[in-house]
Amino acid sequence: MKDNADMPATGLALSETLADYAAGFDGARIPTEVRERARLLMLDSIGIALASHGYDFSRRALAAVSELDGGGDSVVIGTRLRLDPRNAALANGVLVHGLDYDDTHARGVIHATASVLPTVLALAARDGRSGADMVTAYVLGMEVATRLGAVAKGGFHQVGFHPTGLIGAFGCTLAAGWLMGLDARQMVDAQGLTLSVAAGSLEFLNDGAWNKRMHPGWAANAGITAATFGKHGYTGTRLAYEGRFGLYASHLGDAGYDLALATEALGQLWEVPRVSVKPLPACHFTHASVDAAVRLHAQGVKPEQVRRITVLVPAEVVKTVCEPEASKRRPANSYEAQFSIPYLVGTALCKGRLTLDDLEEAALRDPAVLALAAVTDYRNDPDSGFPRHYSGEVIVELKDGRVLREREAVNRGAEDRPLSADDIRAKFHDNARRQVPASRADAIEQCVLGLDQGSARALADQLGQA
């Protein structure tokens, strides 16, 4: 073991530093604007969870967790199901993340809300905590998960790991630990145990399988489990992060990572306001290119005029949204389409939009879109701002010899170009009203945005209706 060579200047292991931070976390010190942003992020994810009930993956997931469940009183968003906390968190994670429409922290390359929100909803409601406590625990989990993701500097995707599942579990562990009242020693143990249960593979990219939809819910389940073991004094490894077989060495090998990013200005600079809300229902890496293609459509470009399309994307995202080329050009299902630059750019150029409706089975067979996808190639973007921004540029060669191009240097919804509170509320209602009437959507919005003055149980009761 590398011991002191891997220790921060304080002499504490990173798990000890984060445990001290979490055990002493005080909601009163969270700036008002951070708490406001946290509630909006929650609202956004709840709307997506409601919309997910219109899809087959959600029905199959709920059937599975219902069979596994041993009984409990934790809600599944948008249903009358009552499950034990871990299974409810698993189910809600699938619902939040299943449409790939949930928020992203760019530098951490992580969908942290999808795991942290199900964790704090299950535990805060179970234990009768205030809504303010639920928001505080959510902010804590988000601050930890996003920072631990940033340490890897985008490296997890390059070696086939999905940070939302892998890193999300650690944020969930400390959020759960705070709600359970764990002390710092117990939180060290809990993080050490999380090292053995956190997971998330990107192999689904090769066949459009549903693995990824399960990752954040499993991270929530793992975090609740590890925190509960820590609460009861079950010993976990101390060097969860920097050890010889710790998180980063075991998953990244010799790839560059910076442990200092996990604690840089911790408690002074907040990551929650840096979380980007998605304006489009697809992998965040594709958004800039899709918006560029929409602008080209608005300029009057017609599919039959196009000879070739070249898309410039950050080198770090190629494995996720551009390869393997054959399946990206003709995605077999909606999930594969959401990670396909050729299909998404073809859709945007052909239709001037990208909505959930454009990911339905019939849309995937649109001959005009597939013809464009078939002539779409990619190149690494030499001016990429990744991971701060997920830039994109679309270059269209027309049959008459003209070349048109549009670039999005800063993707819409990014930290530097955020969606407004009104935009987020409008997105919530668009998603929620796919499954519930306007009156229910209004009541949910009021409950979530007023959570600092309400209770976790009241929110759970509002969400736990069919």
Q: Cis omega before residue 281 (within 30°)?
A: no
* Cα-Cα-Cα-Cα dihedral sign, residues 436, 442, 444, 445: positive
What pLDDT score does 4 carry? 33
Rounded to 5 degrees, what are φ and ψ at 314?
A: -60, 140
Give the distance, in angstroms, between the CA of residue 217 and the centroid of all CA atoms in the same chain. Answer: 11
- Check residue 358 and report its DSSP letter: G
Is 78 inside any structural domain? yes
Residues 395-429 have pLDDT tens digits of: 999 999 999 999 999 999 998 999 999 999 999 99
Distance of alpha carbon 388 from alpha carbon 107, whole angstroms: 6
Residues 367-399 have pLDDT tens digits of: 999 999 999 999 999 999 998 899 999 999 999
Residues 76-99, mean pLDDT to the nearest whole number: 98
Residues β-bridged to residue 92: none
Is 424 inside any structural domain? no
Is 215 inside any structural domain? yes
* Same structural domain, 38 and 144: yes
3-state SS class at 257: coil
Residues 300-356 have pLDDT tens digits of: 999 999 999 999 999 999 999 999 999 999 999 998 999 999 999 999 999 999 999
Is 418 inside any structural domain? no
Check: CB of residue 316 under 8 Å from CB of residue 154.
yes
pTM: 0.93
Edge to edge, the sheet with strand 403-408 lists 376-380, 306-313, 392-398, 403-408
Mean pLDDT of all residues belonging to the chain: 95
In 3D space, the residue among 273, 274, 290 whose CA is nearest the CA of residue 282 turns out to be: 290
Distance of alpha carbon 142 from alpha carbon 249, whole angstroms: 23
* Same structural domain, 77 and 202: yes
* Same structural domain, 294 and 397: yes
* Same structural domain, 453 and 366: no
Is 416 inside any structural domain? no
* Same structural domain, 196 and 344: no
Flag whether pLDDT at 172 surpasses 90.
yes
3-state SS class at 22: helix
Residues β-bridged to residue 395: 310, 405
Is 436 inside any structural domain? no
* Same structural domain, 260 and 121: yes
Is 80 inside any structural domain? yes
Number of domains, the chain: 2
Is 253 inside any structural domain? yes
331: domain CATH number is: 3.30.1330.120
The residue from 361, 388, 408 where one domain ends is 408
* Same structural domain, 347 and 320: yes
Name residues whose C-beta falls within 8 Å of residue 133's C-beta, 6 or more positions apart in sequence: 27, 124, 179, 456
End-to-end CA distance of the chain: 52
Q: How confident is the model at residue 3 (pLDDT cuts 50, 70, 90)?
A: very low
* Same structural domain, 221 and 300: no
Check: CB of residue 89 under 8 Å from CB of residue 217.
yes
* Same structural domain, 184 and 225: yes
* Same structural domain, 270 and 328: no
* Same structural domain, 302 and 254: no
Q: 382 lies in which domain range?
A: 284-408
104: domain CATH number is: 1.10.4100.10
* Same structural domain, 241 and 328: no
